[in-house]
Structure 1
């Protein structure tokens, strides 16, 4: 009986871990200078805000950059508002996030329930 309870507990733990690491969405995008300016004109200075504006330029304003893929996650303004925190919660290489701020890289994104990971597209 104790063994059955332990196995059931282990099974639910494994399922929970798998659900947490499942990719919910994935896309690639070209970061441009236009993505580094908020809709009301002020400059954006962190990778999360720039990635958020990139998705707003695609979904809200219909102005994607060449190389911007679509996604299903960030269609709404409320969903896009979560991007900076998702980036903060993620495991992205700091060099990739710095390049988003200081350059115009082509990057890919995996979106998970509670975080997102960003890497260079090659």
Structure 2
């Protein structure tokens, strides 16, 4: 193999390796545990919610805005802000939630552990874990 070919292979491998690593690791900007109760499954107008991110957002609105909580609900430093709650869909889409966890959220009676990742006061994505 000629030097130019070897150099191209090495540079190509290095480029692939760099692309696989995020530019900068994001921080956990908040985390909380919440119990998804019946109140969390319906919006403020009494309509049944149809997506896990809607239920998670309603849970945080119930906790921070309406003062409704169930045993096990914790305060979080992020979703007290209405704009941050509005970003919940994007944050769930950018993050992760297993299909079985999504089904448990939609059924209610589940305990969720939510980790919020981002920089400073900006949240970019969430990771949601569910237990029964």
Please give the alpha-carbon distance, in whole angstroms, between the structure 1 residues aligned to 2:41 and 2:89. 14
Partner-residue secondary structure (3-state), 2:61: helix
Give the Cα–Cα distance (whole angstroms) in 2 for the partners of residues 15 and 61 of structure 1. Answer: 38
User: Is 1:51 aligned with 2:56?
Assistant: yes
Matched, 1:30 2:30: no
Q: Distance in 2 between matches of 1:55 and 1:90?
A: 18
Asked if the contact 2:41/2:108 (under 8 Å) is kept, the reply is no
Structure 1 vs Structure 2 CA RMSD: 2.2
Q: Which runs of 5+ in 1 are unaligned?
A: 1-13
Corresponding pairs, count: 110
| Alpha-carbon distance change, 64 to 103 in structure 1, aligned in 2, over 3 angstroms | closer
3-state DSSP class of the match of 1:112?
A: strand
TM superposition outliers: structure 1 runs of 4+ over 4 Å:
none
1:81 aligns with 2:80: no
Normalising by structure 2, we get a TM-score of 0.75
Match 2:24 to one of 17, 26, 32:
17
Structure with greater proportional helix content: 1
CA radius of gyration, larger in: 2
The two structures have a TM-score, normalised by structure 1, of 0.81
Q: Secondary structure at the match of 1:17?
A: coil
